[in-house]
Amino acid sequence: MAKYEPNSIRNITIVGHGGTGKTSLCESFLFVSGKTDRLGRVDEGTSSLDFEPEEQKRRISISAATNFVEWDRHKINFIDTPGDANFATDTINSLRVMDGVIVVLDAVSGVEFQTQKVWEYSNQFSLPRMIFINKMDRERADFAGAVESVRKKIGKKATPVCIPIGAEESFKGIVDLLSMKALIFDDAKGGFKSSDIPADLADEAKTFHDAMVEDIAETDEKLMDKYLESGELSPDELRTGFRKGILALDLVPVACGAALKNTGIRPLLDWIIQLLPSPPDRGAVKGTVPGKNKEEERKPETSAPFSAYVFKTLADPYAGKLTIFRVFSGSATSDFNFYNSTKKINERFGSFFFLEGKNQKPADSLIAGDIAAVAKLKETTTGDTICDEKKPIVFDRIPPIPPVMSFAVHPKAKGDEEKIMTSLNRLIEEDPSITVHRDEQTKEIILSGMGQVHIEVAVERLKRKFGVEVTLSTPKVPYKETIKGKTKVQGKYKKQSGGRGQYGDAVLEIEPMPRGSGFEFEDKIVGGVVPKQYIPAVEKGIVEAMNEGVVAGYPVVDVKVSLVYGSFHTVDSSEMAFKIAGSMGFKKGVLECQPILLEPIVNIDIEIPEEYMGDVIGDLNSRRGRVLGMETKGSIQIIKGQVPLAEVLTYAPDLRSITSGRGMFTYKHSNYEEVPPSIAEKIIAAAKKEKEG
């Protein structure tokens, strides 16, 4: 492989809604450039990028895959990202380290919901973009409609760099609006013949060309002056101006083709080189000097200190971890020592690799702009910075997307609980959007993720990679119990069994406290009617009874208990007797204080296209939710509300169904509120039945 300088590297993320053909486009890059001798296909399971068994089973991209091609004395690194919202974390992590984006649209569907989301993600990193309208050979393919959907739903100046010649079955080429030549495709590898524009397209091509020239001229005063004087700009001036407008995020070029037929791919590769940025074009990357709280920059130059950001980790039970990173500055050779400035540790490693899908190509050295991997780093994980220890820097991590769906995980084999936790933590290294914890109240292992498919895939990987089989169930809701009334009650424990007996007597006052106050115990004993050494035992008995629950077995909260009176026996009294007396009195008293159930309430943000507003709000109301407000973001509506956690646990598939897969939501805990009596009765009955069982 040839040696490349940073100026000759292009780092591109391929994004878009699921099913638009992102992976097919990447496979076409490999085939057209001569890197592979056959076109890998997702639907046939021959893709070199969707190589995980879970991806081949579902025919979708689940994990971001990295590869590269060499084209016209340039190296184009690209990452094929998932289009499903379940796996958006990989997409965001990939955008974090790349210099440009190709947004893939379906020529029939145009801009879809997830397209808008990945556009927003790209905005976070101020990335220059190009749009590729794919599947121009499909029935009902509509280039103009797709372009209009960009302008309407995203609101950017989408500027076609070409227009199609024909559509559907008759799609046979494009008109390059920069050179004003027709490119007629004539072989299976996307080759074409250049010719004059067909007469029936001449007027349309001129209209698009003139609009493109105006868009480009508007971004540069000198070009505008020349355009106003002469009415035209040369192809070189157009390319230079176009590139300047793209890098400034003022222009978004639009190309088209059909990836499965390799049509439009060669011009697209040319435009990637001509129009999208190199690492030096993107400029220096900012970070923080550890220990000094001082911001510093790293320029994408080989002479700068080495620095890189880890954006993905692959966990393999046999080969160990594979750490994938982007070099932001400097250079490194095989004798380089990694310093993890995030964790402040040195790491040993073997060799560098360039990734080619599931395969690895050894690399002797790395420079700024390279995407590479290294095996068997023990401590380094996704989001860490690796650098020169003498010139340390830490790049900001990307905050994780909050999980939206959780399941309780149960081992199929006895004694596998410890193995489950260990294996899941290994998976989290690979996919940080998975979280796992043990619920202290319900005693369940809770696995959380971005949706049902995401969690199902995690479970499949758990079995395939680590040999651990589990079952999933809806998590138990962590209800709590409390009271609304007051009482004074006696708890008396007396037992005589032949020798020394047991005697404890505690009179308690029980009253409610404000929500969220917890528990308060007050000693009001006067005159020593209960000796001081037994008072802590009374409190301990009350606390144990609170943890066990009284009405339905859920912890009791927000109560104040005062020990006001009692009695003791000089021989038979003991700490155990007073502990039991406190527990008995508390349980008896709670039942006299209008006990109620409390349920967790969450704040929820639901993002949906406007046409689903009525259906989603109606469904939210049916879940005992309430709308607190609404916001508009482009063509997306954000409903802000509150809803009981019990109604959210299965909300993800329901929302997808209501919105045809176009809705998303996030939630976080807010507070506890009283459960309506009719629902509380059912919960209490179910809890009693489970206890009896």
How far is Cα 70 from Cα 65, in angstroms, rounded to an integer?
17
The pLDDT score that the predictor gives to residue 523 is: 96
How many other CB atoms are there within 10 angstroms of residue 656's CB atom? 18
What's the farthest any 2 CA atoms get from each other in the chain? 117
Bridge partners, 629 (sequence order): 640
User: Start-end ranges of CATH 2.40.30.10 in the chain?
Assistant: 285-387
User: Start-end ranges of CATH 3.30.70.240 in the chain?
Assistant: 598-688
How far is Cα 421 from Cα 445, in angstroms, rounded to an integer?
8
User: Start-end ranges of CATH 3.30.70.870 in the chain?
Assistant: 405-473
Concatenated DSSP letters of 361-427: EEESEEETT-EEEEE--SS--TT-EEE-TTS--BPPPPPPPPP-EEEEEEESSTT-HHHHHHHHHHH
Give me the CATH topology for the region 598-688: Alpha-Beta Plaits (3.30.70)
The pLDDT score that the predictor gives to residue 1 is: 67
How far is Cα 386 from Cα 254, in angstroms, rounded to an integer?
36
The pLDDT score that the predictor gives to residue 684 is: 92
Contacts of 628 (CB under 8 A, 6+ apart): 640, 641, 642
List pLDDT tens digits, range 9-20: 999 999 999 999
The pLDDT score that the predictor gives to residue 641 is: 96
Helix H or strand E encompassing 77: strand 74-80
pTM above 0.95, yes or no: no
The pLDDT score that the predictor gives to residue 20 is: 95
Residue 117 CA, chain-centre distance (Å), reads: 11
With a cut of 70, list the residues of the chain below it in pLDDT: 1, 316-319, 498, 693
How many other CB atoms are there within 10 angstroms of residue 238's CB atom? 21
User: Start-end ranges of CATH 3.40.50.300 in the chain?
Assistant: 6-282
CATH code of the domain occupying 405-473: 3.30.70.870
List pLDDT tens digits, range 53-67: 888 888 889 999 999
How far is Cα 424 from Cα 447, in angstroms, rounded to an integer?
9
Give me the CATH topology for the region 285-387: Elongation Factor Tu (Ef-tu); domain 3 (2.40.30)
The pLDDT score that the predictor gives to residue 316 is: 67
Give the pair of three-digit tokens for residue 516: 């969220």
Give me the CATH topology for the region 6-282: Rossmann fold (3.40.50)
- Do 561 and 524 form a contact (C-beta atoms < 8 A)? no
List pLDDT tens digits, range 179-211: 999 999 988 888 899 999 999 999 999 999 999
- Do 273 and 71 form a contact (C-beta atoms < 8 A)? yes
Architecture of domain 481-593: 2-Layer Sandwich (3.30)
- Do 670 and 601 form a contact (C-beta atoms < 8 A)? yes
Give the pair of three-digit tokens for residue 50: 């969707």
